[in-house]
Structure 1
Amino acid sequence: MKKLLAFALIGFSTIALADEVETAAAQPVAAQYDYSQNLDIAKVISLSTLPNVCEVVPATMTYEDHQGQRHTIEYRAMGDGCSNG
C-alpha cells in the first residue's frame, strides 16, 4: 500500500512539474531595452508598477507586435515619488 501511495505522489508531482514548465515556456523572456532600438508595438499588454521613490528604478513592459508575437522588455524609469515643488 505504501508503494502504491509513493507511485501516486510521484505521478502527481510529475504532472505538476510539467504544468510549471509549460507556464514558464509561455512567458516571453525579458530582453534589455536600449533607447536606440525601434520597437514594433501594436498593443501594450502590461507595465510594471513603479515604486513611490524619487530615483531611477527597473521596469518591465510586455507588448504584442504587429505579427501577434509577445515580447517583454526591461528598461529603467523614474519612480513615481518625485514632487515638482
Structure 2
Amino acid sequence: MKALLVLVLSSLCATAMADEVPTDVAQQQPAIEEYTYSTHLDVAKVISMSEIPNVCEVVPAKMEYDDSKGQRHILRYSVMGNGCSNG
C-alpha cells in the first residue's frame, strides 16, 4: 500500500514539474517584432529564417537573429513568394 502511495505521489510531482517547463521556455522566447522601414536592424548573426512558399503573392516571413550585444530577436516581415515568373 505504501509503495502504491509513493508511486502516485511521484507521478503527481512529475506531472507538476512537466507543467512548469513550457512556462520557463515561453519566458525565454523573445517577443516577435514587426519590421517597418524605420526599423533599425542590428544583425550580428542570423539563427534561422522561415521558408518562403512557392506562390506569387506577398507572404509573411520570420528571421531569428542575434544582435551585436548577443540578444536574440525574432523579426516578422513581408516578402514576395518564390512562385512568380519573370516572363
Say yes or no: TM over 0.5.
Answer: yes
State the percentage of identical aligned residues: 48
Cα distance between partner residues in 2 of 1:53 and 1:6: 53
Q: Which residue of 2 aligns with 1:26?
A: 28
Q: How many Å apart are 1:17 and its aligned residue?
A: 1.5
Cα distance between partner residues in 2 of 1:22 and 1:48: 24
Q: How many Å apart are 1:26 and its aligned residue?
A: 2.0
- Amino acid paired to 2:85: S
Q: Which residue of 2 aligns with 1:82?
A: 84
Cα displacement string for residues 9-34 of structure 1 (whole angstroms, at most 9, x for unaligned residues): 32111111222112222221111111
| Unaligned residue ranges in structure 1 (runs of 5+) | none
Cα RMSD after superposing both structures: 1.6
- Paired residues in the alignment total 85
Cα distance between partner residues in 2 of 1:64 and 1:7: 42
